[in-house]
Chains A and B, each alone.
Chain A
Amino acid sequence: MRAGGADMKAGVILFPGINRERDIIIALTQAAGHRPRLVWHQETDLAGLDLLVIPGGFSFGDYLRCGAMAARSPVMAAVRAHAARGGYILGVCNGFQILTEAGLLPGALLRNAGLRFLAMDCHLRVERPDTAFTRLWREGDVFCAPMAHGDGNYFADDATLDRLEGENRVAFRYCTPAGDLAPAANRNGSARAIAGIFSENLRTLGLMPHPEDLVDPLIGGEDGKPLFAALTAA
């Protein structure tokens, strides 16, 4: 299992109701130079894939808790096995929700604090740069990414939050453009302004905002590019 390098083999997992797969495919293709494999949620063989990406959307309509149905799809056993083998997993938005519902990341994503869908750019501060996902940023770097979610309010009990922070597993926090953790910058009300977290082995990342939507200077900028470049560049 490897990360980095243009021959990185990525798979994008598709559940019914996922709707940001095109955006992720564009970002991965641009970074790697080839298209990722598309994996339908009923497939069970993920052999040969280095990186699994679960995109955003509304899997199964999110009519139960967000991500709860998808977390019980046939493909998820293979996703768990991939994680256990030390494979890389990226979950964005609904993908993050699915990873928490599957128990691959701790905590849960609750309804936004203001009870409204939030669709706007936000700023994220890089909390840990020495991972396969964040290695092209420096600690404290601030980048912009659109958010688009109704349930992005990260929650975990204090013991879990203390542990995440103690183990340095917070990937990104919501901040002002200058990098300050002002309450107004944490629009969805996430605990300790957490926007993304790593698994214990730092090989699974879940985050709510969409870096895949900022990989083109014409489409709002390239702030999201380092994430995909880090995963694919040698």
Chain B
Amino acid sequence: MERPVDESLAREFGLTAGEYAKIPAILGRAPSFTELGIFSVMWSEHCSYKSSRVHLRELPTSAPWVLHGPGENAGVVAIGEGLAAVFKMESHNHPSFIEPYQGAATGVGGILRDVFTMGARPIANLNALRFGDPALPITRRIVDGVVRGIGGYGNCVGVPTVGGEVNFHPSFNGNPLVNAMTVGIARADRIFLSAAAGIGNPVVYVGSKTGRDGIHGATMASAEFGEDSEAKRPTVQVGDPFIEKLLIEACLELMETDAIIAIQDMGAAGLTSSSVEMAGKGGVGIELDLDRVPQRERGMSAYEMMLSESQERMLMVLRPEAEAMARAIFAKWELDCAVIGHLTATGRIVVRHQGRLEADIPLGPLAAEAPLYHRPMAPPPAPVPLAAAPPDPIGIGPALLRLIACPDLCSRAWITDQYDATVGGQTVKRPGAADAAIVRIEGHRRALALTTDCTPRYVAADPEAGGAQAVAEAWRNLTATGARPLALTDNLNFANPEKPAVMGAFAAAVRGMAAACRALDFPVVSGNVSLYNETEGSPILPTPAIGGLGVLEDAAQAVGIALSAGLALVLVGETGGELGQSLWLREIAGSEAGSPPALDLAAERGNGDFVRKQILAGRVAACHDLSDGGLLVAVAEMVLAGNCGVRLDTPPDRIAPHAFWFGEDQARYLLAVAEPAPLLAAAEAAAIPARRLGLSGGEGLTLPDGVAISLEDLREAHGRFFKDFMG
């Protein structure tokens, strides 16, 4: 039976003594068991953003093209022709560690719902994944389950998985990161929001039945893992992508009518957060009769139903006269639907079950009194630059072969070959073909460019610079396809915010992101914060993953990275040979030291705008931004993508060759152009650094000293890791 409601129960539900003390003050009496459950999930870190909110305010969120910024289910930007892109990224880190397949699958399902809830048809999925040391058996199990889970869900719902990124680092051994992003398309004048309206209007539940899965999932996501994490498996939800597909089609069909006043998916904290948020945003009250909730099992309590995170469920407020039509559409798609309550003028959430009043909470104070913390922060230690460029122990060619074989740079084909990237028939650039995925909008020439990016080791070494770099790299990847970057969604994955060093890094990373967003006109329109990413006190590398979105007026203008013969390579941007925190340093010199490469946001903007202009003028055959591994790794990737060799020029002698070829200086692009002269002249006129780097053609990658690496050797090195790792 239900335990007495007291401070010790509140602590088990994740509330502090101070937080618990507010509840009787709000209610004027002690809370019921169900009410305590509602307060605890609404005030969890996951739902209330109580540690991060004060910092998130620093992020720029507006631009003339932003239609809805943070605060809705997903961000919405105008992309021209009366269309809007709706997108968001969200984490499913904790569930993916406990149960990789279902954790990742339901991560995809949850973010899809956030997008089609707003009236958008999902047209692309992306992801950002971080795994632990590949030498550990558990890493292999997690990689296998997460990849299968993402594929299993995305492939079945028929939304192409077009992009993503993967890193490996021991800091993720006990806490992988699974960040999933969905992008949808809607008419800009047909965006659906969650604010409920119309006293007396019916509250309608649609989708899967409610079961006991995922109870207190939001609370689990708001705590560190300990030794007992295995025992938390029952808090992981189980996904059903078939029901999700039916929900997508049924909701979009209903959205063609004027039946829906407000709609919200049941995500974290399920029925509780969806009903509280819909009524709260609309300034109305809501009354729920749990006897009418479609239930998967018998004997569920009000507490269990209010906190269940069963998947594939939606809550909507309908016009009363449209209820019959809505029922017919849901019946056609064989979906459960039930009127489970109505809106009231009380400003309270009232929950009844089997004749009992289970909860009666004023919505205003539930939101307004939610905890908000200015957590103590320790300023991040100043990064220590490398004293001098470390000597080159193995030479340029051998270093390249080793770098393109390392887990962070090797071919991702083993992963992407399990994701359907073509369903929908609009994928212009598939994974690996360009710096960003390009997906055309059906029936239009217009296309979206999409990418996910972060370099966690930079953020760890210098959170502010690393936060800015993550934003800049996403912007650069969009730019390198010719797209105009419009906005981003973020997924801020950090460790325990109650530790001053973690909170200090969080604040600094957000500060860096904000500066880059402003400099690049690249606002944040949606996002998610995932804290407590540590196991037994061992924190992850701070990972503010960025999901970037850009637009091309004509998909035919997009360029990829594949090299073809007879083109001049032109390097745009300044090369100083920065090896601090580079992959060369880690993989070849065995050191994770130094400060990350300096980021000059003005140069980033100038170089990027120049490159985009050249691409849109039709002067560029291929373009690749320079990032992990530096210049020579980018050359090798262009060679491999195009199956075409290259002969490289001698680098300037003021920089050590290995620093020139593997330094990770920012704001750089490698262009392949048929006629370099006009491009170089344009660069000079605009004071943009640009230099010739070589000529494409031939059978291999030929270094300036004449040493050639064959395409076969490059391909074998690039493809080796996953073959050995996963079989």
Contacts and interface: CB of A to CB of B under 8 A. Distances in A.
B422 interface: yes
- Chain B CB count within 10 A is highest, among A58, A62, A213, A218, for A218
A27 B332 CA distance: 27
Interface in B614-670: none
B442 A22 contact: yes
B245 interface: yes
Given A17-B242, A119-B155, A120-B417, A23 B425 contact: yes
A172 B334 CA distance: 37
A20 B418 contact: no
B397 interface: no
Nearest to B335: A16
Contacts of A117: 148, 151-152, 155, 418-420
A26 interface: yes
Contacts of A26: 425, 442
A226 B240 CA distance: 37
Interface in A153-208: none
A119 B425 contact: no
B555 A61 contact: no
B419 A119 contact: yes
B333 A148 contact: no
B294 interface: no
A213 B155 contact: no
A19 B422 contact: no
Contacts of B155: 58, 117, 119, 148, 150
Nearest to A187: B417
Interface in B399-438: 413, 416-428, 430
Contacts of B152: 117
B422 A63 contact: no
Contacts of A213: 422-423, 425
B26 interface: no
Given A16-B333, A219-B426, A219-B427, A148 B246 contact: no
B424 A16 contact: no
A53 B419 CA distance: 24
Contacts of A119: 151, 155, 416-422
Contacts of A27: 425
A16 B246 contact: yes
Interface in A36-92: 40, 56-58, 60-63
B14 interface: no
B618 to A, nearest CB: 15
A58 B426 contact: no
Given A16-B246, A117-B155, A210 B418 contact: no
A60 B242 contact: yes
Interface string A21-35: 011001100000000
Interface residues of B, number: 35
Contacts of B240: 61
B422 A148 contact: yes
B556 interface: yes
A2 interface: no
Given A19-B157, A20-B158, A61-B156, A116 B422 contact: no
Contacts of A22: 424-425, 442
A60 B246 CA distance: 10
Given A20-B158, A61-B156, A63-B242, A219 B418 contact: no
A5 interface: no
Contacts of A150: 155
A136 interface: no
A11 interface: no
Contacts of A19: 156-158, 245, 423
B112 to A, nearest CB: 13
Nearest to A118: B417
- Chain A CB count within 10 A is highest, among B158, B428, B430, B442, for B158
A56 B160 CA distance: 14
A150 B241 CA distance: 15
- Chain A CB count within 10 A is highest, among B156, B241, B422, for B422
Contacts of B333: 16
Q: Which 8 pairs show the lowest CB-CB distances between chains A and B?
A: A19-B158, A61-B242, A23-B425, A148-B420, A146-B422, A58-B156, A213-B422, A119-B420
11 contacts: A16-B246, A16-B334, A19-B423, A20-B158, A23-B423, A60-B242, A61-B156, A62-B156, A62-B242, A119-B151, A218-B428
Interface of A: 16-17, 19-20, 22-23, 26-27, 40, 56-58, 60-63, 116-120, 146, 148, 150, 210, 212-213, 215-216, 218-220
Interface of B: 148, 151-152, 155-158, 240-243, 245-246, 332-334, 413, 416-428, 430, 440, 442, 555-556
Given A40-B332, A213-B422, A215-B425, 16 more contacts: A16-B242, A20-B423, A22-B425, A23-B423, A58-B156, A58-B245, A60-B242, A119-B416, A119-B419, A119-B421, A120-B417, A148-B423, A213-B425, A216-B425, A219-B425, A219-B440
